[in-house]
Amino acid sequence: MQKINIKNSNGVKLIYCTSIAFSDKLAHRVQIAAMAREFQKKLGENFYLGVNYINQDDKNIKIVCFNDAKSYSLSWKYLKFIKKNKIDFVYCREAKLLFFIFLYNKFFFRNKSRFIYEIHSLAEKNVLDKILNRLFCFWVDKYVFITNELKNIYFEKYSYDLKKGIVFPDAVDLARFNIDVSKEDARQQLDLPQDKKIIAYAGSFLLHSWKGIDILLKSAKQFSDDFLFVFVGGTKKEIANIRSQYPSDNVLLIVQKPNSQIPLYLKAADVLVLPNKKGEDISEKYTSPLKMFEYMASRRPIVASNLPSIREILNDQNSILVQPNEPQKLAQGIKKAMAPEVSEKISQQAFQDVRNYTWEKRVDEILKFIQM
């Protein structure tokens, strides 16, 4: 196999296989799009992003639309494309789709492509999931994990070759979130009050209970109307449910916005909160939240749950870590983060640290790793 030169693809081709509808709202699609843009920069015409269908155009990504969301039929279309275009690397983060690509390739196509599996959680809902994980140990050429905890657990359970796996957390586009906009200007553009302390959360609401929206809402009750808790990222139904359960004058619930608008909301805040809950492995061990890196790039103080997954990136020098699932502890952390000497120190350290977690560096390292 020809080695990749990071500045010049030298003819090596890679396809990122997905079954998504291409847009920029849901976090996993934002992550895929960000990776695709960097792959495109590095590999040029030799990179392809495969999708189910397109509902948002992006001229910076070479997108191949297959108009099929069913893994068993979509995978067949992918393999025909892979064979026709002589693809060297197949990159995927969807277990079911990757399984059918493997299966059909083994018995029908026999392409000599190398397969890269990016894992975001340990799927073990049933016996079939465990069988797939075991099969992948023999079929996958390289693994990309988003946390060390996830890598270690996967290794212990399935005993794959440790050299086949590497950890690359999620990342951020610094240019998009380190914008030269003052807090006052951001609030003016968003029609947010200038005379209140704003505590912000940006992300999905009730879609995943472990994200801790309820903890932050309970914490808001311990603050006066001089504070405004701004939540960005809910559906209309979620917002209606939350308003009925947590009526409060100091809470503002905003519907899901395109990721391109999120930097302005983060700049408008005094404190940014990541209230993930303990009790589920995905929250404690597996997640590498996009919002965490976006918060860090925004130069605003962060208050986050003290969980193993979060501590892989955040620490006492770049954030305020608090006991998870405790509204009172979260409130105390928010108040601590608002002290000027604390706010400036941790926000600046977080910005320095996040420079190590850009999409450009992530793709550079992955390309180096997969061609070893």
Sign of CA dihedral 261, 264, 269, 273: positive
Could you list the pLDDT tens digit for every one of the 372 residues in the chain? Answer: 333 344 444 578 999 999 988 776 677 888 999 999 999 999 999 999 999 988 777 778 899 999 999 999 999 999 999 999 999 999 999 999 999 999 999 999 999 999 999 999 887 777 888 888 888 888 999 999 999 999 998 888 887 787 899 999 999 999 999 899 999 999 999 999 999 999 999 998 876 789 999 999 999 999 999 999 999 999 999 999 999 999 899 999 999 998 889 999 999 999 999 999 998 888 899 999 999 999 999 999 999 999 999 999 999 999 999 999 999 999 999 999 999 999 999 999 999 999 999 999 999 999 999 998
Q: Which of 285, 49, 58, 31 is nearest to 171 (CA)?
A: 31
Q: Which CATH architecture has domain 14-171+358-370?
A: 3-Layer(aba) Sandwich (3.40)
Q: What is the pTM of this model?
A: 0.92
For CATH 3.40.50.2000, list the domain ranges present in the chain: 14-171+358-370, 174-354
| Bridging pattern class, strands 47-51 and 63-65 | parallel
Q: Which of 16, 69, 70 is nearest to 38 (CA)?
A: 16
Amino acid residing at 63: I
Q: Which of 362, 359, 367, 334 is nearest to 259 (CA)?
A: 359
Q: Which of 276, 268, 249 is nearest to 330 (CA)?
A: 276
CA trace torsion 234, 339, 171, 326 (10° rounding): -50
Fold of the CATH domain 174-354: Rossmann fold (3.40.50)
